[in-house]
Amino acid sequence: MANGAWSEKVVQLLRRMNSFYFPGSCRPTCLRFEVDGAHVGWIPPQVAGLISRHPEVFDPPRDGAVSLCGALDSYGKRSEAVDAVLQAVRHENRFTCLRGWRDERYSVMPKFSDPPLLWMERAATSLFGVKRYGVHVNGYTVGGDGEVSMWLARRSATKQTYPGLLDNVAAGGLAADVGVKHTLVKECQEEACIPAAIAERACPVSTVSYTYFDDEGVFPEIQFVFDLELPPDFKPTIGDGEVQEFYLLPIQKVKELVASDDFKPNSAMVVLDFLIRHSFLEPDTEPRYHELVTGLHQTLE
């Protein structure tokens, strides 16, 4: 693929993954989701009916915002009340995202450093546009000649999201009350059978952030990115069945794949971040370098 065509495809990917910021998004019609006076998310118009049906949990919209009732004044009360609503709605089959119910609790807070205000089922977070956090690992090797290769995973064909697409060697969402490094080690072990002694060598290097919307809601996401140099003789193996195959590919081939429809979109962004940080893309030779960099670091407050 010619360099200009590659750049255009990657820029278009970044625009899709940041679609909430662009004209034509649902943002002007969303309600702010506030908890204890703090803005924690965006409620898309298709969820407004759900709010009005549960006045014991949600106050009526006011000044463009929806808040939880004042009586829900603790982490436990808020979590319990919201979960009861979501459990009831889940069985109505109104929202396709709830068909992927995972029994995974995600923390809801204004910023990652803030104490969580409640927890929410992972599959429901897009209905309230709350920030989701995850961990992605770039697993790579360096040959004796200095050539860099990267391990990629092919997602299982039975995955609930993005089945069969290429992915980072290990990745996973950050559940409530679980640390970033703990999640990294766990995902490396479960998905790729990377021993903890090796996984713990991973270096935190960056974050990738973006906000997109679709029929299932609003997705503000922040991924904690780690680089893990794997021993040349180490080969990841299938663990929990979320991956069907691993590939070790030269970094230039990985670069080509980033612009293809064969890659899970946010994982392609994580690889793009690797390419930029390791100088496989440079401003003198990549005319859209600035667009690529800024497209990886969009955070909605």
Helix H, strand E, coil C: the string for the chain is CCHHHHHHHHHHHHHHHCHHHCCCCCHHHCEEEEECCEEEEEECHHHHHHHHCCCCCECCCECCEEEECCCCCCHHHHHHHHHHHHHHHHCCCCCHHHHHCCCCEEEECCCCCCCCCEEEEHHHHHHHCCCEEEEEEEEEEECCCCCEEEEEEEECCCCCCCCCCEEECEEEECCCCCCHHHHHHHHHHHHHCCCHHHHCCCEEEEEEEEEEEECCEEEEEEEEEEEEECCCCCCCCCCCCCEEEEEEEEHHHHHHHHCCCCECHHHHHHHHHHHHHCCCCCCCCCCCHHHHHHHCECCCC
Q: Residue 179: CB partners within 8 Å, gap ≥ 6?
A: none
pLDDT for 300: 64
Alpha carbon 47 to its chain's center: 21
pLDDT for 141: 97
pLDDT for 144: 87
* Domains of the chain, each with CATH number or no CATH: 3-21+132-295 (3.90.79.10), 29-128 (3.30.750.160)
Q: Tens-of-pLDDT digits for all 301 residues of the chain?
A: 677 899 999 999 999 999 999 999 999 999 999 999 999 999 999 898 888 899 999 999 999 999 999 999 999 999 999 999 999 999 888 899 999 898 999 999 999 999 999 999 999 999 999 999 999 999 999 998 999 999 999 999 988 889 999 999 999 999 999 999 999 999 999 999 999 999 999 999 999 999 999 999 999 999 999 999 999 999 999 988 889 999 999 999 999 999 999 999 999 999 999 999 999 999 999 999 999 999 999 876 5
Q: Residue 134: CB partners within 8 Å, gap ≥ 6?
A: 171, 172, 173, 174, 183, 221, 222, 223, 224
pLDDT for 241: 83
pLDDT for 301: 57
Alpha carbon 267 to its chain's center: 9
Residue 17 to residue 283: CA distance in whole angstroms? 22
